[in-house]
Amino acid sequence: MLDDKYEVVVVGAGPAGLSAARTASRLGFHTLVLERLPRRGELAYPCSGVIAPIPGLISVQKQGNGLYFPEIDLKLSQALIAGFPKQRLYKSPGGHDVELAFAQDASPVVVVDPAELLRNLAEQAAHAGAELSYATAATGLLMEGSRVSGVRTSRGDVRANIVLSAEGTARHVCEEAGLYAPVPAARRYAYVVSQELEAPAVKADHLGQIVTFGQRYSSAREGFGTVVMPAPGRAWVYFTVFADRPKDITVQSCWAYLDEYLQNDLRVRDLFVGSRIISRAGQRMVIRDAPQRVIRDGFMGLGDAITAGGHLGILPAIYGGRDAALIAAEAMDSGDTSAECLAGYNPLSRGLIMRSLEAENKLVMNLTCMSDDDIDCLCQTLHSLHLATPYYSNWRTITWEMVGSLLKQFPLLSRDWDLLGRMLPDGNEIENSHELLSISAAPLAAWQLGAPATAPGLPPLPLRVRVLN
């Protein structure tokens, strides 16, 4: 039985929502978490579970057999860690690879079991005093004038001093709160399906990720496949498709594309000989521009609910949930939960991570629209540049010797200048690349060159580039 009134109501029991509930409860606030799924640890979306520290935001310490992230008070025991991927490979249809190595010393990239992590966070929130109500959907908002005063649920109305919406890519509550502009008549959709597999053919030297663009291995018009191999014998496979209309494709037809990818790409197929499916997940979402705002009187949006591409990442989501709860606590202590008093909540929504995710979303969609021949040319060029990992590492400015290395490749760059421009997002989303935190699908964004990327006789690219050593 739900109470009539709480100090904090959190919509959604994902990483952001549970982090917010854990923090608010530890601070002594009467907190309720609403989750439409029936039990702890269930996922409504495909999640690879890849996490790593973020320079300048989230650090990591090795503790015993596990890892500890002090800024978000997150301990990963060995039981939660599925493995340590070594690299990410981008593969073109013609077989050209772009390899990015992951740092595994002071800043390890790890894969966790997402369901077990959610159960762990839920236990911590409950232990701190939060009330977790599963199988309880948030159906709308309660309003008092322009202020959000609570939530309508499938089990009745609940009033609150402040509502924190971490509802994920559904975004219904955030849209009702007015965070997003009206959905345009012409819209884009993303469909993602995934399989977790027991894969005995995956060995220690395979650990990492494989991302394949192009149409040679599936009949999807705009799609790409991803394989995550965190540990010997384990793998996750994803296939993502973009479409202009919901009737152009369904989640069910995406399974056929995933099967085509696994059967037709010989570089992937051999990894799944004798494999067994453990679980499957699928999701459809509308591609949205970033929200116009993330707060209003009595209300805050957080996590995937306020990202353009719908995947903030586990650690940034936990960080954002904690920050939202701290800002909300200060506002409630002052007796004023107006948007003006919540304005300090801004670490991710208007910061570098959000801008990076918006750029990544556009870049991936650009790549899925390119021909196989164009993607082959791009990968051939980028392969020769020996790029550094553009995220999850200690970024350093490059010595001028590396500039010389880049210049040696200038004939290839000039040859593919038009292709590089088409691959990159339009505008200035990633103009300040020395501050860029994450463009996971953009190896080009790892370059760091002090001047704008221009050359005599060549048009400027919409990017400032630097090279990393």
Give the chain's domain count.
3
Between CA 345 and CA 153 the distance in angstroms is 26
Instruction: Inform me whether the pLDDT recorded for 239 exceeds 50.
Output: yes
Q: Residue 82's pLDDT band (boundaries 50, 70, 90)?
A: confident
Q: Is residue 54 part of a domain?
A: no
| pLDDT over 50 at 13, yes or no | yes
Residue 411 has pLDDT above 60, yes or no: no
> pLDDT tier at 392 (50, 70, 90 boundaries)?
very low
Asked if 370 and 326 sit in the same domain, the reply is no
Examine the pLDDT at 210 and tell me if it is beyond 50: yes
In a domain, 68, yes or no: no
pLDDT for 393 equals 38
Residue 157 is part of which domain span? Answer: 5-49+113-180+292-334
Query: In terms of pLDDT, which residue wins out, 363 or 4?
Result: 4
| Average of per-residue pLDDT across 250-269 | 88
CATH number for position 309: 3.50.50.60
Find where tokens 């800024």 sit: 71
100 near 2, Cβ under 8 Å? Answer: no
* Range in 118-127, 185-194, 258-267 with the lowest mean pLDDT: 185-194
Q: How confident is the model at residue 94 (pLDDT cuts 50, 70, 90)?
A: confident
Q: Is residue 453 part of a domain?
A: no
Give the CA distances from residue 158 to residues 9, 131, 153, 398, in Å, rounded to whole numbers and listed in that order.
8, 13, 7, 55
For CA atoms 70, 76, 77, 83, give the dihedral sign.
negative
Find the radius of gyration of the CA atoms of the chain. 22
Q: Which range, of 86-100, 186-200, 439-453, averages the lowest pLDDT?
A: 439-453
Q: Do both 28 and 126 map to the same domain?
A: yes
Which residue matches tokens 């384990």? 234
Residue 464 has pLDDT above 50, yes or no: no
Most confident region among 54-58, 160-164, 426-430, 456-460 by mean pLDDT: 160-164
What CATH number does the domain containing 229 carry? 3.30.9.90
Tokens 């002052």 belong to residue: 334
Enumerate long-range contacts of 333-342, CB under 8 Å, 24 or more apart: 337/147, 337/161, 337/162, 337/297, 337/298, 338/147, 338/297, 338/298, 339/293, 339/295, 339/296, 339/297, 342/295, 342/300
> At residue 398, does pLDDT exceed 60?
no
161 and 305 housed in the same domain: yes
Select from 272, 287, 302 the last residue of a domain: 287
* End-of-domain residue from the set 271, 287, 303: 287
**What per-residue confidence (pLDDT) applies to 390?**
43
**Of the segments 52-61, 123-132, 370-379, which one has the largest average pLDDT value?**
123-132
Same domain, 244 and 299: no
Average pLDDT, the chain: 79
Domain assignment of residue 361, yes or no? yes
The terminus-to-terminus CA distance of the chain in angstroms comes to 58
Assess if residue 363 is contained within a domain. Answer: yes
Domain end residue (candidates: 227, 257, 287): 287
**Ranges 311-320, 385-394, 426-435: which has the least confidence:** 426-435
Which pLDDT belongs to residue 105?
A: 63
120-168 tens-digit pLDDT = 999 999 999 999 999 999 999 999 999 999 999 989 999 999 999 999 8
pLDDT of residue 104: 62
Q: How confident is the model at residue 437 (pLDDT cuts 50, 70, 90)?
A: very low
The tokens of 354 are what?
Answer: 């959000």
379 against 218, higher pLDDT? 218
How far, in Å, CA of 266 to CA of 272, rounded?
10
Q: Are residues 316 and 256 in the same domain?
A: no
pLDDT at 387: 52
pLDDT tier at 461, thresholds 50, 70, 90 = very low
- Among 65-69, 234-238, 388-392, 422-426, which is the least confidently predicted range? 388-392
Q: Could you say which DSSP state residue 102 is in?
A: P
**Are residues 34 and 125 both part of a single domain?**
yes
d(CA 101, CA 87): 4
pLDDT at 381: 74
Please tell me the predicted confidence (pLDDT) of residue 152: 96
Residues 206, 309: one domain?
no
Average pLDDT score over residue span 191-207: 91
**Predicted pLDDT at 351:** 61
* pLDDT score, position 404: 44
In a domain, 71, yes or no: no
Q: Which amino acid is at 405?
A: S
Q: Are 30 and 175 in the same domain?
A: yes
- Lowest-pLDDT choice from 124-133, 219-228, 378-387: 378-387
**Inside any domain, residue 460:** no
Q: What percent of the chain has pLDDT over 70?
A: 76
108 has which bridge partners?
Answer: none
Residue 26 shares a structural domain with residue 174: yes
Average pLDDT over residues 281-288: 82
| CA-closest candidate to residue 122, choices 234, 17, 230, 250 | 17
Q: 98 near 25, Cβ under 8 Å?
A: no
In this structure, the answer to whether residues 43 and 131 fall within a common structural domain is: yes
Is residue 348 one of the residues assigned to a domain?
A: no
Q: Do 242 and 280 fall into the same domain?
A: yes
Task: Give 241's DSSP letter.
Answer: E
164 in the same domain as 125:
yes
What's the number of CA atoms in the CB half-sphere (13 Å) around residue 201? 11
Q: What percent of the chain has pLDDT over 90?
A: 38
pLDDT value, residue 289 = 78
If pLDDT is split at 50, 70 and 90, which confidence band does 407 have? very low
> What mean pLDDT is predicted for residues 380-396?
52
User: Residue 271 above 60 pLDDT?
Assistant: yes
Whether pLDDT at 201 is above 90: yes
Look at residue 400 in the predicted model and tell me its pLDDT.
Answer: 35
**In the predicted model, what is the mean pLDDT of residues 204-231?**
89
